[in-house]
Amino acid sequence: MSRVFCISAGQLQVKKADTPINRRHQYLNYGLLSLATVLHRHGFDPVVLHGHFDRPEALFLEAERLGLNDSLPVLISLPSFYAVEWANLFMQQAKARYPLIRFIVGGRWVVGDNPERLKTLLLLADRVISGLAESQIVELLGGARNAAGLLLGSPAPQSSTLDYRLLHQRELYQPSIEVSRGCGMGCNFCQERSERLQPLKPARQVVEELTATLLHDNLIEMTPYFEASMFVPTRPWVDDFSKVLTETGLKLRWRSEGRVDNIRPELMPHLAATGLTILDLGLESASPQQLQRMQKSKKPQGYLDRASRLLEACAANGIKVKVNLLLFAGETDDTVAETLHWLDARRDQFYGVSVGPVIAYGWPEESASYLSELAAFGASLSHSPCLGVNHLDLSPQMNHERALAVSREISQRYMSAERYYRLKSFSYFARDYRYQNFLEDVANTNVPLSFDTSRLTLPPRKDCHSPELVV
């Protein structure tokens, strides 16, 4: 069989603070796994490897150990702009060892509408492909194969099934199941703006994928993330899901992300009964003015009332909510205080928070036009850590550094270290990263952390004189 290396490019820098804990994130590039699954169905032998925060040379050695050579193009996926530099280094190393090797690069959040331009930055890339790619990936590799030779198959639909057997060290990943694609809300900076929202995948198919995916082993329990740009569960779908789960006897705890205006509070008891355990809720702010500035809602009071009802329903049904907050252009101490006031009043109804300042992603013209929109609220460019990533001073009162400090304070206010660990370990930490390992990392971290450590009993710190480091 023809082995295809599918490499999810890693990052040389960590997005938030560079701590040992942030480096334990094991983000799964399920878009790339979806492409690998299509290739496998067409007779290829794909393997998906992730760069994470490892050096490109380390992943290159691992790929060589697994049989990397120059017989078929290597697929490089760019999950974000932070990954471009890493991808360049990886390709340089592979090319130095295998001069005939070819690379096909994709990842719609970076390529956007600029494949030619990206190619000038990734000089070793033979092709740069934009958009979703299930329907073209087989052809890009020269057509489907079987033992007898070339055989072109029909293109795959632009929806995904994920075959976790193709993922290198798959036992370490918390799995994602894609339950729908598309959104179509038209936000002009987003690749999903005109991808029509697809109906939720049939419940039976979701359960079949879950059954094939979930491992029952000695590592931390597998708790899948139901991925969708716009998760809009309906009562018939939830009923169906519940029925198929009962039929198959599958028990699970799962997580998803929802928007205040798309998830109906009355569905919560039914979703909880199917195992929904954590809901990431994109609240963004509780300041009416900030909600209007980010065009989250024209009627902020109605929006906040709906959010209140949803939080109550989740709490009543034992669903842990992680509230996502965005410090946005025009943010001041007063607007932050409005958000804190609202959250304080509902402190018992959510489990944790995730907070950060808005970042303008995109190619220079795209981010320039977004930045000029945000300038109207008093924001300006602070600096760019790499191509496509622009940090902002949110207002004359809140520069970037202060926005980071305020984000940390808000996280510490509402989230204990243990809750932070439970949330991360449910979906993003490697499945062998246990609470004790986390406590050790906390003890050995010098930079401020985005959770409350005041009630922790920490293991002794390893300093440079500690015997085990000398050995």
Question: Which residues of the chain form contacts with ligand SF4 (CB under 6 A)?
Answer: 183, 185, 187, 190, 192-193, 229-230
Q: For ligand SF4, which is the closer residue by CB, 179 or 214? A: 179
Asked if residues 186 and 139 have their Cβ atoms less than 8 Å apart, the reply is no
| Choice between 180 and 412, CB closer to ligand B12 | 180
Q: What are phi and psi of 192, to 5 degrees?
A: -90, 0
Is 357 a binder of ligand B12 (CB under 6 A)?
no
- The yes or no reply on residue 15 touching ligand B12 (CB under 6 A) is yes
What's CA 42's distance to the chain center, in Å?
Answer: 28
Cα atoms in the Cβ-side hemisphere of radius 13 Å centred on 18: 5
Residue 325 interacts, among ligand SF4, ligand B12, none and using kind-specific CB cut-offs from 5 to 8 Å, with: none
Looking at the Cβ atoms of 66 and 187, the one nearer to ligand SF4 is: 187
Nearer to ligand B12, 3 or 243 (CB): 3
Q: Which two tokens stand for residue 436?
A: 């004790």
Mode of pairing for the β-strands spanning 389-393 and 380-386? antiparallel
* Residue of 313, 388, 411, 423 interacting with ligand B12 (CB under 6 A): 388
The least distance separating ligand B12 from the CB of residue 363, rounded to whole angstroms, comes to: 9
**Is residue 292 involved in binding ligand B12 (CB under 6 A)?**
no
Interaction residues for ligand B12, span 228-257 (CB under 6 A):
229
Contact status: 104 vs ligand B12 (CB under 6 A): yes
278 near ligand B12, judged by CB under 6 A: no
Q: Which of positions 170-209 make contact with ligand B12 (CB under 6 A)?
A: 192
Residue type, position 201, single letter: K
Tokens describing residue 42: 């067409």
213 is an interface residue for ligand B12 by CB under 6 A: no
Contact call for residue 129 and ligand B12 (CB under 6 A): yes
DSSP, collapsed to helix, strand or coil, labels residue 148 as coil
Q: Minimum distance from CB of 284 to ligand SF4 (Å)?
A: 11
Query: What's the closest the beta carbon of residue 42 comes to ligand B12, in angstroms?
Result: 14
Q: In angstroms, rounded to a whole number, what is the distance separating the alpha carbons of residues 390 and 81?
A: 11
Please, which residue, 185 or 212, has the CB nearer to ligand SF4? Answer: 185
Tell the smallest beta-carbon distance from residue 137 to ligand B12 (Å).
6
CA–CA dist 430, 26 (Å, integer)? 6
Exposed, middle or buried by CB within 10 Å (0-12, 13-18, 19+), for 55? middle
- Asked if residue 79 binds ligand B12 (CB under 6 A), the reply is yes
Give min distance, CB of 25 to ligand B12, in A.
7
Q: Which stretch binds ligand B12 (CB under 6 A): 32-40, 55-63, 398-406, 429-437?
A: 32-40
DSSP label of 387 = T
- Considering only residues 5, 81, 303, 433, which one is a binding residue for ligand B12 as defined by CB under 6 A? 81
* Helices 400-414/333-344 angle, 10° precision: 10
271 binds, among ligand SF4, ligand B12, none (CB under 5 to 8 A by kind): none
Provide, rounded to whole angstroms, the least separation between the CB of residue 104 and ligand SF4. Answer: 25
- Hey, what amino acid is at 320? K
**Interatomic CA distance for residues 366 and 375, integer angstroms:** 14
Instruction: Name the binder of 163 from ligand SF4, ligand B12, none, CB < 5-8 A by kind.
Output: none
Q: Are 136 and 129 in contact (CB under 8 A)?
A: yes
Q: Residue 134, interface with ligand B12 (CB under 6 A)?
A: yes
Q: Which of 199, 175, 198, 310 is nearest to 255 (CA)?
A: 175
Those residues whose C-beta lies under 8 Å from the C-beta of residue 327, and which sit 6 or more positions away, are 336, 355, 356, 357, 358, 394, 398, 403, 406, 407
Name the amino acid, one letter, at 301: Q
Binding flag, residue 48, ligand B12 (CB under 6 A): no
Q: Nearer Cβ to ligand B12, position 15 or 402?
A: 15
Helix (H), strand (E) counts: the chain: 17, 16
| Beta-strand pair 359-361/389-393 | antiparallel
Close Cβ partners of 208 (under 8 Å, ≥ 6 residues apart): none
Joined together, the tokens standing for residue 59 give 């992943």
356 binds ligand B12 (CB under 6 A): no
Q: Which of the stretches 80-88, 288-296, 363-371, 400-408 binds ligand B12 when contact is defined by CB under 6 A?
A: 80-88
Q: Is 109 in the site for ligand B12 (CB under 6 A)?
A: yes
Nearer residue to ligand SF4 within complex by CB, 161 or 229? 229
> Would you tell me which residues interact with ligand B12 (CB under 6 A)?
15, 27, 29-32, 34-35, 75-77, 79-82, 104-110, 129, 132-134, 160, 192, 227, 229, 361, 388
